[in-house]
Structure 1
Amino acid sequence: MSTIIYTYTDEAPALATNSLLPIINAFSGAAGVQVETRDISLAGRILAVFGDHLEPDQRVDDALAELGELVTRPEANIIKLPNISASVPQLKAAITELQDDGYAVPDYPEEPSTPEEEEIRARYDTVKGSAVNPVLREGNSDRRAPAAVKAFARAHPHSMGEWSADSQSHVATMDDHDFRHTEESITVDRDDDVRIEHVADDGEVTVLKKSTPLLAGEIIDAAVMRRDALLDFLAEQVADAREQGVLFSIHLKATMMKVSDPIIFGHAVRTYFDTVFTEHAEALESVGVSPNDGLASLDTALEELPDDQAAAIRAELDAASERGPDLAQVNSAKGITNLHVPSDVIIDASMPAMIRSSGQMWNADDALQDAKAVIPDSSYADLYAETIDDCRVNGAFDPTTMGTVQNIGLMAKKAEEYGSHDKTFEIDGPGVVRVVDRDGTTLLEHAVDTGDIWRMCQTKDAPVRDWVALAVRRARATGMPIVFWLDDERAHDAQLLAKVHEELANHDTDGLQVEFLDVAEATRFTLDRVRRGEDTISVTGNVLRDYLTDLFPILEVGTSAKMLSIVPLMNGGGLFETGAGGSAPKHVQQFVSENHLRWDSLGEFLALGASLEHLADTFDNDRARLLGQTISDATATLLQHGQGPSRVVDEIDNRGSHAHLARHWARELADQDDDAELAATFAPLADQLDAQIDTIQEELLAVQGEPVDIGGYFWPNRARVAEAMRPSATFNALLDQFGTDA
């Protein structure tokens, strides 16, 4: 069946869906292409896993599980919008919102103490963090800036700030006892099933994970972040930031690495506010405060304490802030610091923003200031350190001349899902953690101490070979050099390199430039080419895929939301992703206060075009091909006319941009010569949109400037959202009538 699945997600992308999807349905319906939706929002996922706690009319299908099965089939065609990768504070907030709306989902048990709480916690663990992407990504990633987007950025360059050779901004990272330096890795030569166990100093064995099936040729690796070394490092960086007079900031991946990085974030909070957590430990524990949740949760919890205790803790917070370095701010107007919420310091969004802003971050006075970017694990810190050093010497990048960096990312079948799953543990006591095969042989082993963070991850053989083949295909198609960002001195990368060289021998690489460089070398190589206007394909593992496909798009075209992100699924289907949603929360805040949505749906336009073309190829559907070609042409026209959303209220927003897209798309379909019947179908709509576009835009602008109530953040009222996102009666009537006629 010629069906496209369009996912309903969260925040600004979900708001935009309520405006864009009626256009997609009308146009695709007229061309005989079926589009269906599936709800994989955070709230929807919570409801799906707790159906047994709900009334029958409240239960929802497990759309994520359904799509997880679909992506293994050749007919899969899914457009995946950005979703919330929930930190624990976000998860708790979503739970509260659902409960307030009458859904009897259970509370999140922070420290489960009964079998029932353990079972509830296990269900929530399937929802929090990067729960969606590993399920859907049954293929490797192909991300790039489309030619039309790159051309627009060159013609209309975004601001990049100015760098000073005297900039004190820098990256601080650990040089030992972190995941990078403690990693062990092997490739198993048979199908197996391993267990992970902790052996205490007295010999007591605790099984941490009973079973992890492995396939022959699979790479497994394990590493440990040593707590004492981490605490020493953090204390040194706090003191050094104070001495240098730079902002202190922490940069982590507390969503994708949903177990390890929130713990590291908590150590940063505790280190900076050490006296708060030592002198008031009993009071804070009584109201369930965890530094892992950040200062925001502490602020909320203080309201539950007696006034005198709360006042004493607030006084100590102020005193600690006075003693410590200034903190980088996420929102200086509201006093939200870099240590408030773990999901606010996502490294792949925060570091590119810092680099684009002259290497500076915002301080409490709402001014830019040099900053110390603390990235504890050194595995990929060199990417940002080298980029900052390059800018300090050579100045800001010039979007009008810089080359492009495409990415082929290894991620299929949960490859390299570091620190995010049921194979990551905070250690309860000293001893040894080991990985033991079914014959009792120890494959990997680390000495550990209380509070250390130990993790294991898997990378299957088939995804690696598919990744290499995809890289070679892109090199052949573009003529660009491909750079494998692999370090032969890192245990995991050494295992990966052996497979890469073996697989490359199966492909024709004559005439191709193929490089193998560690992170620092690859960054320097790529930045040198970028500054000379030359293009490069980065071939990276899963985490670097995330980092690079935010960093370079933000530098090149101003945002990673404008990337074309294709996942050719290993069994023949296609997954089409629509860009990053890191700024989506701020967009929602502006929308509810001003009824102006600045979310740019360009990623959705690009993904839809690629999805339609894939569907056309899969099912030999000429009309789907026409839809894909014409929406791509319409998108280019929209860009040329500068009809993307403005950041400013009372100017064109997301809804106005959608109206322009519909107008251009209808005109492209009406004027094409390949399908006279389809052209005749769309000609009246194109004429009416041309005639009414000014009225439509006036109606869309008229509602801006006043607050709008959508009935919730994680579980908004769908009827209110639809009404708010479709305020033009003229546009709605044209679309609805066209849909009826078609």
Structure 2
Amino acid sequence: MAKIIYTHTDEAPMLATYSFLPVIEAYASTAGVEVETRDISLSGRILSAFADQLPAEQQVDDALSELGALAEQPEANIIKLPNISASTPQLKAAVKELQEKGFALPDYPDDPQTDAEKDARARYDTTKGSAVNPVLRQGNSDRRAPASVKSYARKNPHSMGEWSADSKTSVATMGADDFRSHETSVVIDGDDTLTIRHVAADGTQTVLKESLPVLDGEVVDATFMSARALDAFLAEQIAKAKADGVLFSVHLKATMMKVSDPILFGHVVKVFFADVFAEHGDALAAAGLSPSDGLASIFSGLENLENGAEIRAAFDRAIADGPELAMVDSSRGITNLHVPSDVIVDASMPAMIRTSGHMWGPDDGEHDALAVIPDSSYAGVYQAVIDDCKANGAYDPTTMGTVPNVGLMAKAAEEYGSHDKTFEIETDGRVEVVDSSGTVLLSHDVEAGDIWRACQTKDVSIRNWVELAVERARASSTPAIFWLDEQRAHDRNLIAKVETYLADLDTDGLQIEVMAPTEATTFSVQRIRRGEDTISVTGNVLRDYNTDLFPILELGTSAKMLSIVPLINGGGLFETGAGGSAPKHVQQLVKENYLRWDSLGEFLALAASFEHLAQRFGNPRAQFLADTLDRATGTFLDENRSPGRKLGTIDNRGSHFYLALYWAEELARQSEDAELAAAFADVAGQLRSNEQAITEELVAVQGSPADVGGYFRPDDEKAEAVMRPSETFNRVLGSLSL
């Protein structure tokens, strides 16, 4: 039987699932398509990691591993909603909630000493950061704005701030002694198992990673960032922001780059508050208060210290004496340095660029800002867009072109660093990557505190990436640009492989080029201003950056992108967009029973999933569902049925009703399958005739607090009651049969 696996994830997308999944199940059943769910939420991942320590009634299956195995099969059809890429503070909050619900989980150990603590830490660490994506993404990424979404954005342009040529906003990056400048790379000759080791100045060897399996043709990279150079750079930028009178902001990716970037964030906090840590650092460390967790964690912990008020006053003085900090929530005093997962570069930088190059200051006003992105690998991309906006003004959503993306990510290609091979060096010495014969393949001299990391990219992933780029370039008659920098060791190896694999493909009539990221950015934004489209063909991290940068400028959000992962073995993974705004939406739902989450990404992914099923299993009714859902989504956009901005308008639940109505009407109108049309004609008639009653039932619940039974792990009955408040809508859905 044809089957869709719909993932149960986190925050607003998870709450929306309680409302939308019944629609999917009812409509899919008419085509003989079974819909199943799998829990890959943060709480689910935590509970599965400790399943052997919990009583049977509390145990949770390892759904992520199950889906990882399924993704290797040709019958895979998985719809993946956004999930929390947990930072340490988020993980701790999830653990606390689960403990309060009666799950006997150990506390997260910051400094594990006993075997039990080390075991708990290892289990928890498997759930942090990008724990889900590398498991499921057994293919490369095809992300683009569907024609209906792009058309709507042009007819209903989102707001864009005005740019001034004398804007002081800029990007600051190291350019030396960082990950980019120290990168080395090797192409593996034959299957092997590598070892990563540290050789101290006195010759003592410590194995950092004992077994690193690699395949023939695989690209393996290593690099490090100098802690000394980082601190000096940060001190310079803090002084520069103060002198220039601009907001100081740091932009990292502490969720996905779950080892390196929290360390970088900690350096920023420690350098900004250098005097405080010089005087009180030992007391803070003894209390387990780490700069890597941010000011919010530190300030909370100070309440338990005898001299906490004195230390807090020192922090407040440092804030007053330093440059003004960019704010996450100025009304609540939440700065850019409060929580490492609050300001994620791929979302925060496009938002800044869209808003005149401004961020919010402590006075609740907009101001120019110094955007500090320590590693120079991709910082120039954002500076190039800022330079273009200073020279030419803001982009025009009514005329601008689009920049779809083909991203290299199959089999954990370039996986954000990679965090399982990232180490904070404890003593001076040398880090080496050694093959099974003892030959040193890669080597770096390092100092205590430096951040060293390695990553790997399999040859089969690169070949498939090149093939997908050519396929998309031909299908859309669009130039495809590989964003690769020949000055970087890793990119040089990729360029050689790209050129080899392109020679094996039919590229006649196609414009396919290789450009360094900054050059590619300038090329693409120039074309955007002429209303022209350009495919960006990028590695994994740039894929993440570009699939927020350009959609936020083009569409106002990255959640409206069609995100398809054609799995290498023939299956399909359909992703539903970004979840960066999800936490705020949950807070609003709990406060006033109003969910602003926009499920458009789910609609787009679902249509692509049905189409894949139709082609894979020869199911014509699945194709009808796909085609009619596409048309219904177009109507949904034209009729502006996305969640409104204030109480009294339809929210996420109302948008699901209208999508169901338009979809049923499209199915009733199709003439190829009379039985299907008749079944949906009845449903469409009931939905249309009860439109007022249903919308009134959905709006009537707004304005009062909503209890869903938990943030990270809601109670199913409570959440379903909140998210399905219209008895009329529920009754009509329940009547659908074929």
**TM tier relative to shorter chain:** over 0.9
- 1:144 is aligned to 2:106: no
Aligned to 2:572: 574
Give the letter for the 1:204 counterpart.
T
- What pairs with 1:200-599 in structure 2 (closer than 5 Å)? 200-306=200-306, 309-599=307-597
- The letter for the 2-side match of 1:229 is A
SS of corresponding position for 2:180:
helix
Quote the Cα distance in structure 1 between the aligned partners of 2:278 and 2:484: 42
Instruction: Say if 1:129 and 1:420, in contact at 8 Å, map to a contact too.
Output: no
**In structure 1, C-alpha distance between the alignment counterparts of 2:714 and 2:305, rounded to whole Å:** 31
Cα distance in 2 for residues equivalent to 1:498 and 1:270: 41
Structure 1 counterpart of 2:647: 649
Distance in 1 (alpha carbons) for counterparts of 2:417 and 2:303: 33
Instruction: Answer yes or no: is the 8 Å Cα contact 1:417–1:542 preserved in 2.
Output: yes
Q: Specify the alignment match of 2:181 in structure 1.
A: 181
Q: Which digits, 9 at most, give the CA deviation of each residue in 1:69-120, with x for residues without a partner?
A: 0000000000000000000000000000000100011111111112222222
Q: Aligned equivalents of 2:660 and 2:219: distance in 1?
A: 48
When the two chains are superposed, the root-mean-square deviation of aligned CA atoms in Å is 0.8
How far, CA to CA, are the matches of 1:420 and 1:438 in structure 2?
Answer: 21
Between the aligned partners of 2:700 and 2:420, the Cα distance in structure 1 is 51
Please give the residue correspondences for 1:61-72 in structure 2 after superposition, counting only pairs within 5 Å.
Answer: 61-72=61-72
* Aligned match of 1:97: 97
- Distance in 2 (alpha carbons) for counterparts of 1:408 and 1:285: 44
Q: Does the 8 Å contact 1:261/1:419 carry over to 2?
A: no
Report the Cα offset of residue 55 of structure 1. 1.3
1:168-194: CA deviation from partner (whole Å, max 9, x where unpaired): 000000020000000000101111111
Structure 2 Cα separation of the partners of residues 160 and 707 of structure 1: 33
Contact (CA 8 Å) 1:130, 1:420: kept in 2 or not? no
Following superposition, the deviation at residue 613 of structure 1 comes to 0.2
Question: Pairwise mapping of residues 68-217 of structure 1 onto structure 2 (< 5 A)?
Answer: 68-217=68-217
- 1:219, 1:281 → 2: CA distance? 41
How far apart, CA to CA, are the structure 1 residues paired with 2:322 and 2:517?
Answer: 32
SS in 2 for 1:5: strand
Q: Is the Cα contact below 8 Å between 1:667 and 1:686 reproduced in 2? A: yes
Any idea what SS the aligned residue of 2:382 has?
A: helix
Alpha-carbon distance, 1:718 to partner: 1.7
> SS of the residue aligned with 2:668?
helix
Distance (whole Å) between structure 1 residues aligned to residue 585 and residue 227 of structure 2 = 37
Matches within 5 A, 1:36-55: 36-55=36-55
Distance in 1 of aligned mates of 2:328 and 2:278 = 26
Q: Per-residue deviation at 1:122?
A: 1.4
- Once the two structures are overlaid, the 10-residue window that deviates more, 46-55 or 412-421, is 412-421
Task: Provide, for residues 39-85 of structure 1, a one-character-per-residue CA deviation record: whole Å limited to 9, x for no partner.
Answer: 00000000011011211101111100000000000000000000000
Give the deviation of 1:420 after TM superposition: 4.0
Alpha-carbon contact 1:596-1:650 (below 8 Å) kept: no
Q: Contact 2:16–2:597 (CA<8 Å) still a contact in 1?
A: yes
2: CA distance, partners of 1:179 / 1:649: 47
Report the residue type matching 1:355 in the other structure. I
Q: After superposition, what is the alpha-carbon deviation per residue over 1:676-708, rounded to whole angstroms, capped at 9, x for unaligned?
A: 011111111100001001111111111111111
Amino acid at match of 1:377: D
- Cα distance between partner residues in 1 of 2:554 and 2:36: 34
Distance in 2, matches of 1:647 and 1:461, equals 47
- Of the structure 1 ranges 612-621 and 700-709, higher mean CA displacement relative to structure 2 is found in 700-709
Q: Output one character per residue of 1:372-426: Cα deviation in whole Å (capped at 9) or x when no partner.
A: 0000000000110000111011000000000011100000000001334221000
Separation of aligned partners in 2, 1:401 and 1:372: 30
Q: Which residue identity lines up with residue 345 of structure 2 in the other structure?
A: I
Tell me if structure 2 keeps the 8 A contact 1:42–1:84. yes
Question: Matches of 2:282 and 2:444 in 1, distance apart?
Answer: 33
Letter in 1 for 2:703: G
| CA offsets 1:638-658 (integer angstroms, 9 cap, x no match) | 001011111222211101100
In structure 2, the partner of 1:694 is: 692
Letter in 2 for 1:621: N
Q: Is the 8 A contact 1:108 1:124 kept in 2?
A: yes
Map 1:560-709 to 2 at 5 A.
Answer: 560-709=558-707
Distance 2:98 2:624 in 1: 42
Deviations 1:569-595 (CA, angstroms, capped at 9, x unpaired) = 000000000000011111111111111
C-alpha contact 1:3 1:35 (8 A) present in aligned 2? yes
Give the conservation status (yes or no) of the 8 Å contact 2:418–2:455.
no
Question: Using the alignment, how far apart are the partners of 1:287 and 1:304 within structure 2?
Answer: 9
Letter in 2 for 1:546: D
* Distance of 2:153 and 2:593 partners within structure 1: 27
Q: Identical aligned pairs, as a percentage?
A: 65
1:256 touches 1:420 (CA, 8 Å); kept in 2? no
Amino acid of the structure 2 residue aligned with 1:218: E
Q: Is the Cα contact below 8 Å between 1:72 and 1:138 reproduced in 2?
A: yes
What is the DSSP-based 3-state SS (H/G/I as helix, E as strand, rest coil) of the residue aligned with 1:181? coil
Determine if contact 1:75/1:573 at 8 Å carries over to the other structure: yes
* Mapped contact 2:183–2:489 kept (Cα < 8 A): yes
Which consecutive aligned stretches of 4+ in structure 1 deviate over 6 angstroms post-superposition? none
Alignment partners' CA distance in 2, 1:348 and 1:421: 18
The Cα offsets for residues 617-638 of structure 1, whole Å up to 9 and x where unpaired, read as 0000011111111111111110
8 Å CA contact 1:643, 1:657 repeated in 2: yes
- Following the alignment from structure 2 to structure 1, what is the Cα–Cα distance between the partners of residues 128 and 32? 37
Letter in 2 for 1:220: V
